[in-house]
Each structure stands twice: as C-alpha cells, then as structure tokens.
Structure 1
Amino acid sequence: MTSAAHDPVPRSAERTSTFRGALAGLSLSMLLSSLGTSVANVSLPTLAQAFGAPFQQVQWVVIAYLLAITTLIVSVGRLGDISGRRRLLLAGITLFTVASLACGIAPTLGFLIAARAAQGLGAATMMALTMAFVADLFPKARTGAAMGLLGTMSAIGTALGPSLGGLLIAGAGWRTIFLINVPLGLLALLLAFRYLPADLRREKPDQRPSFDIAGTLLLAMVLAAYALAMTVGRGSLGQINAALLLLAAVGAGLFILVEARAASPLIRFAMLRDPTLSTGLITSALVSAVMMSTLVVGPFYLSHSLGLDAALVGFVMSIGPIVSTFSGVPAGRLVDRLGAGTAVIIGLVGMVAGSLALTLLPGTFGIGGYVAAIAVLTPGYQLFQAANNTAVMVDVGAEQRGVVSGLLNLSRNLGLVTGASLMGAVFAMASGTGDVATAPPQAVAAGMSFTFAIAVVMIAVALAIAAVHRSVPAVRNLLSRSSKKP
C-alpha cells in the first residue's frame, strides 16, 4: 500500500532526470559540432607559420570540416533511421573525439586536414541526430523549448570559438584548440550512453531497409562540387567554378534518376511534396544566407567605414552571437506557447525589420545604429530557427526523422555557403571595387546598405512563402465549410 502510494513520485522524478540528462548530452553534442567550426578559423595564421604552408593550403583545415558536414549530413541522418539513432550517435561522438585527439597530435598539415575531415563526419552525425532525438524524446508541447536550447548551444559554440581559440593558442599552443574537445567529447559520450533510450529492435532482420550507397555517393559529389564552387570562387565565376557547378548540375540529374529507381532511396522525393517540409527547407536556406551576410559584410563596414580597430570590431561582432545565446531558450518557449506556424511568421517579420534597420540606421547613428539593428535581427532569427525546426520535425514519422533532420541542417549549411559567396559578391559590386579592403569608407557604407536591401527582399520572399503555406489550409477549411452549408 505504501509502495503504491509513493511510486508515482520517484518514477516522475526519474523520468525528469532522464530527460534532463538526455537533453544535456544532445546540447553538448550540438555545442561541440558548432565549436569545431568557429574555433579553427582563428588558428589559420598560426597553422601557416607552424607548418610553413601558404594560406591557400592551410584554409583546408576549415574547408575539410565544412565539406564533410555538408556532403554527409543527409546520409548519416538516413543511416540513423535505418541502423538506429542511438548507436550511430554514440559512434559519431566517438569519432569526433578520436579525430579531435588526432588533430591535436597531427605531425603534418596533410594529417591535420584528414583528421579534420573525420572530425567533420562525426560532427555531421551529431548535428543530424540531435534534432531527430528531440522529436523522439519530447512531447509536442515541449519540442519548441528543446529546439530553442539546441539553437542556444549552437550560438554559444559559434560565439565562444574565436575567443576561446585565441586564449588557448596564446596560452598553450594551437594543438589545445583540438585537444580540449577530448574531455568534452567523453562527457557527451557518457551522457548519451547513460540517458538516451535504446534503439527499437525490428522483429525480423529482413525488415531493415537497405542503405542507398549509390545515392549517397552521388549526393556527396553534388554537394562537394557546389560547396567548392561557392567557397573557392568567393563570388567570382571562373573556369574552375563553372566546371564545378556543371559537375554539380550533372550529378544532381543523375541523383534524381538513381533515387527514382532505388528500392530504398536516400531521399524519398515524395517527402518534398509535403508543404511544411519544402517550405521549411526553402525559408531556412534564404534566412541562413542573410545571416551569413552579417558575418561577411559586418567586419568590413565596422573597420573601413566606421574606422574601428580590430579589438572593437571583434567585440561588436560578438554581440550577435551573445544575443543569440540569451534569446534561444525564450524563443523556444514562445514557439510552444504561440504555435510553430505563428512563431515562424513573427520571427521573419523581426528579420525583415532588422535587415531594413541595417540599411538605414548605421548611416545615421553609426555603431549604435548597427548594434540596434543586430539586436532586432538576431532574436528574429532565433525565433525563426526554433519555430521552423519544430514545425518540420514535430509530425515527421520516426522512420524518417534522421534524414529530415539532415535535410534541415543541409539547407542551413547551403544557405551559409551560398550567402558567403553571393552576398559577398553583391557587397563588392555595390562598393564599386574589386577589392573591398581598398574601397573608400563611403563606398563600403553604400555597399552595405545595398547588400542588406537585397537581404530585405530575400527575407520578404521567405515571409511570403511561409504566409502562403499558413493561409492555404485556412482557405481550404473555409471553402470546405462553405460547401457543406445548405
């Protein structure tokens, strides 16, 4: 009798503890994968000196990591759906941790680049499966808050990378920026092993769908060619870039043909007919391209137009990630309160206002206008991200959550890559010079205003797409009700 009376409390407490432990493991995985990108950027000058290599070679330390994530994130998401998300996430964290150790002890630049590619594969697994696990573990009423927390951890990793990397390099050398991931990776592995639920076992082995190797290889080729065309070209269209884009286009055509005939395709194109998924992917790419514009254009404007020194530029540029850090969790809770669809619209409206402010306020109010505009743009982005991820993931079947999570992350990465290249080219063109670094202050200011005028148009397009997606079901319901009236 006594046991029955007291049973619900410990069970409830144990369930809460399990949820918190699982969310801690997923959050740390997201933090490490985003930290892996930002912490390496600051090390490139040091690595060039340490290995006696030119910048063109050393930059592959960053490119290899990003390429591995971009090309493989959909495939590892699908593999998680097939083989089990828990075991694959544990393998991804293990690979990330071991590869971090390999980066830290790398004897040559080539070894370091190879280790970074392996680290990127581990990061792709962590990024793809963390969002899938949120949909697995949490009820719909709490999904937004969990997505908001993951967004916060991603922002913390992005914001922490440059400052942490600089401190570690100055204090203990460049190897420590990779070695620090080892104890953190082990902690993430321990939390995931302890708290994530076991994978469901299929009754018969032959019920497990096969993994689409041909589709995986073709998609990896397409994404690698496109990402390289955007990265190497930096907005210009030379012969190499044109060849890479042609290769990507041909590969995309072959990929569509292979997927149409595959028994168990990597991507079921019927999924893309779902308006929630297709809208979420398109708007995510557009929004990410705009956010990358702030990272590409911002430093030039602050240094060349406003005349700030490097330290102050770094401080102002850190305001965006800091605002993201503090707005992510409240944004997620707002999604749960208002509903994902409404929150997407509000987030995009905030981004339109922030982008418009970037075209107008800095020219009048200087650094104060720039900071105010970023303070409007960034929370809008965080709200959009939490709402969009929730809207897409919340109703996805368990057997497709990994690949859909991978597609969401891919759309974001492609938006970032494209934004860095094309919006950088728009900025250079609007500044009236081939080299922005030598442009006069007035030209840089004009280039920034024009670039974010384009950003306003891009976000307005995303807002229109999201609004149409929300209004169509309402119109259909209204017409259905009208037709039933006598």
Structure 2
Amino acid sequence: MATLALSMLLSSLGTSIANIALPALTDAFSAPFHHVQWVVIAYLAALTASVVFVGRFGDIYGLRRMYLAGLGLFSIASMCCGLAPSLWTLIGARALQGVGAAFLMTLTIALVRETASEERMGRAMGLLGTVSALGTALGPSLGGLLVSVTGWRGIFLVQVPLAVLTLILAFASLPHEAGRTEERHPASLRTVRVTTLLPNLLVNLLVAAIMMTTLVVGPFYLGFGLGLRETLVGLVMSVGPMISIFSGVPSGRAVDAWGAQRVLGVGLTMLAAGAFLLSILPESFGAVGYVLAIIVLTPGYQLFQAANNTAVMADIPKDRRGLISALLSLSRNTGLILGASAMGAVFAFGVGTGDFKQASPMAVAGGMRLTFHLAGGLMLIALGVAFWPSKRDA
C-alpha cells in the first residue's frame, strides 16, 4: 500500500506541479498563454488517451508488470522534461510523461482493489485520496519554491528521484501474482455493462474539471489579480490540498460507515457551495476569501472521490478491474482536460485577453467571477446526474 500510495503521489504531482510554472514558462519561452497552456494539456491528453489501453494491458499481461513499465516510462519522461531545449520539446516530453502517469493512476486503483477487503475499501480509497491530495499540495508549494530558486526545469527534475525510488520499492514489495487472472481473454467493453456506471463516470468528469479549474485559474488570479509573489501564490494554492490530506482517510471512513451514496451527496453539495463562493469571496476579501472558499470546496472533493471510487469498484470481478479502473481514470482525466482548456478559455474570455499581464486586476477578477459561476452551475448539474438513477430505480 505504501508503494502504491507513492505512485499515486507521483501522478498527482505531475499534474499539479506544472501549473504553478505557467507564468514562468510564458517568460522563459516568450510564448502566449494559449501555447504554454499545452504543457498542462499535453500531459492530461496523453494520460486520457492511454488509460483504457493501459487497463486492458493490465488485465491481459498482469497489473504488476504493466505498473512497473509505467514507472520506468514516467522516470525517463520526467528527465526529458527537465532537459527540454524548447517549449514544443517540453510539450512532447510532457505527453510522454502523461502516458507513464496513465499506468500509475489506472493500475494503482486496480491493485488497491486487489489488497483491500470489502469492509475496508472505502478507507483504502480514502488513503489514495489523501496521497493524491498530498501530491496536489506539494505541486504548487514545491513548484513555487523551485521556480524561484532553480527555474522551471527544477519542477520536472525533482520528480526523477521520487519515480526511481518508487520503482525500486515496487520491485521489492509487489507480489508477482498481483493482478493476474487465469482467463486468457479478459473482459472487454462489450462484456462490461458500462451503462450502469455512466452517471458515476459523468459526475467524476465534471468534478475533475472544476478541481483542475482551480489549479489553472488560481495562479493567474492570485498573481495578476491580487499581485501576490510566486512563493506566496504557491503557499495559497497549497492550502486546499493540505486540507484534503487530513480529510481523505476520514472521508473513506465515512463511506464505510454511512454508505457511498449518502457521502456522495454531501460531497457534491460542498463542491457546489465552494465553487459559488470562489466566484464571490475573493473579489471582496482577496486571498483570505479565496482560502475560505477553498476550505469548503476541498473536503467536498475528498468526500466525493472516496464515495464515487468505492461505488464504481465495489462489485467489479477480478478480470475486469483493470478495465473499469481505466474508465474511471478516463472520465477523471477528460474532466481535467476540460478544466485546463475549456474552463481556461472561459477565464480568458472573462478577462478579455489571453495576455493576462496586460489586463487590469479588475478584468482578472471579472474572469474569475465568470469562471466559477459556471463551475457552480456544473456542480448543480452533477448533483442531478448523481441522484437521477436512484430516483428512477425507486
């Protein structure tokens, strides 16, 4: 479990640590925001495009073998990112890193399902949520420090030793029979009733889009809208994930005690409230208002994540766990892409320009307000989708 938790840390760190460097990359490569944005999007797009294939490979060739291959690929790609001579080379290396992250994110969930008992699966998923939040927290704070001390290359090179350490631990600790199935032809999409999972997958997509929106829009609002320095931006951005670190395991315990559906509703309600607060409080109270809204948003995300992952994976047969875990990752990563691209475009539209340095603080605040009004509306839609099946079945 410790090894698998480290791999989840790596995949979340790979997502969050690059966001804080977007303004620095804009300066380093003299590139506009819509070009630099692809440093985030390429990672997420490659991750998303790979997850279903990764899940199938895990079911066919063994979860452990494919997991180790993904760790090796992630290590090499992280080194390539840190040594990239141009923006488009960096974007290509980030895409390769995203493929490696697809192995880590997808197969980690499937391997955890191999080790957790039915009555403790909520806690196991909560642990993954805690470690994922730790990676998200380390990304802005560590990234802000590294950008100011070593430049943007340090945010990628720091991932190399952690990936190598995880690879060594995986070789030593994961049993060789982990994830093996006696069937020669594991289940395909045609043999899996995906329609029963569609509400969970769609809501997972919407929630991921909102969380990525905070990671992409937040640094620009705090930096250009409020005028905070990079290190302080990193600290403010790490507040929410730090809260998530302490709420992940309790969220899993809540799922085991109260049931996935009830916790799911509470989490989505908090997410909707937090999104609307982000559209209101920062404009009136600055960084303090931003933090107050995040205090509502992030525990809601941890409650949702533990409940939704448990609901999706609870009754999946052994020969289908790689594939279903892949679909769960696919929906999440599609949402991350939408948050980075579509919601980023909404923010730029609200600001009135893609060159945020030339925009006034008032214009940046207007973009923030528009973006999170929309985010709150999407969370209300997610609530309706999540509870429509239960109403229909009733």
Q: With structure 2 as the length reference, what TM-score do the two structures score?
A: 0.85
Residue 59 of structure 2 aligns with which residue?
Answer: 81
Contact 1:341 1:470 in 2 (8 A): no
d(CA) in 1 for partners of 2:70 and 2:274?
A: 37
Contact 1:87 1:199 in 2 (8 A): no
Contact 1:151 1:385 in 2 (8 A): yes
- 2:330 aligned with 1:415: no
Moved more, 164-173 or 316-325: 164-173
Residue 46 of structure 2 aligns with which residue?
Answer: 68
C-alpha deviation, 1:167, in angstroms: 4.2
d(CA) in 1 for partners of 2:339 and 2:181?
A: 42
Residue 16 of structure 2 aligns with which residue?
Answer: 38
Residue 198 of structure 2 aligns with which residue?
Answer: 278
d(CA) in 2 for partners of 1:418 and 1:405?
A: 20
- 2:15 aligned with 1:26: no
What is the 5 A alignment of 1:73-152? 73-103=51-81, 115-152=93-130
d(CA) in 2 for partners of 1:307 and 1:98?
A: 36
Specify the SS of the correspondent of 1:209: coil
C-alpha deviation, 1:33, in angstroms: 1.7
Residue 248 of structure 2 aligns with which residue?
Answer: 328
Residue 369 of structure 2 aligns with which residue?
Answer: 449
Shift in alpha-carbon separation, 1:355–1:105, aligned structure 2, 3 A: closer
What is the 5 A alignment of 1:304-323? 304-323=224-243
Specify the SS of the correspondent of 1:268: helix
Moved more, 89-98 or 78-87: 89-98
C-alpha deviation, 1:60, in angstroms: 5.8
Shift in alpha-carbon separation, 1:393–1:310, aligned structure 2, 3 A: same
Stretches of structure 2 lacking an aligned partner (at least 5 in a row): none
- Return the letter of the residue paired with 1:427: F
Aligned counterpart in structure 1 of residue 385 of structure 2, from 453, 465, 481: 465
Specify the SS of the correspondent of 1:452: helix
d(CA) in 2 for partners of 1:109 and 1:441?
A: 28
C-alpha deviation, 1:419, in angstroms: 2.2
Moved more, 188-197 or 117-126: 188-197
Aligned-CA RMSD value:
3.2
Question: Higher relative contact order by CA 8 Å / sep ≥ 6: 1 or 2?
Answer: 2
- 2:270 aligned with 1:350: yes
Residue 236 of structure 1 aligns with which residue?
Answer: none
Stretches of structure 1 lacking an aligned partner (at least 5 in a row): 1-22, 211-263, 476-486
Shift in alpha-carbon separation, 1:187–1:85, aligned structure 2, 3 A: same
Larger Rg: 1
d(CA) in 2 for partners of 1:108 and 1:438?
A: 25
C-alpha deviation, 1:171, in angstroms: 5.4
C-alpha deviation, 1:156, in angstroms: 1.8
d(CA) in 1 for partners of 2:103 and 2:179?
A: 19
d(CA) in 1 for partners of 2:7 and 2:338?
A: 26
Residue 159 of structure 1 aligns with which residue?
Answer: 137
Residue 165 of structure 2 aligns with which residue?
Answer: 187
Specify the SS of the correspondent of 2:316: coil
d(CA) in 2 for partners of 1:307 and 1:49?
A: 17
Q: How many percent identity over aligned positions? A: 56
- Return the letter of the residue paired with 1:138: A
Contact 2:275 2:372 in 1 (8 A): yes
Deviations 1:256-292 (A, max 9, x none): xxxxxxxx75x33752221xx1111100111122222
Specify the SS of the correspondent of 1:208: coil
Residue 252 of structure 1 aligns with which residue?
Answer: none
May I ask how many residue pairs the two structures share in their alignment? 391
Deviations 1:231-269 (A, max 9, x none): xxxxxxxxxxxxxxxxxxxxxxxxxxxxxxxxx75x337
d(CA) in 2 for partners of 1:300 and 1:104?
A: 23
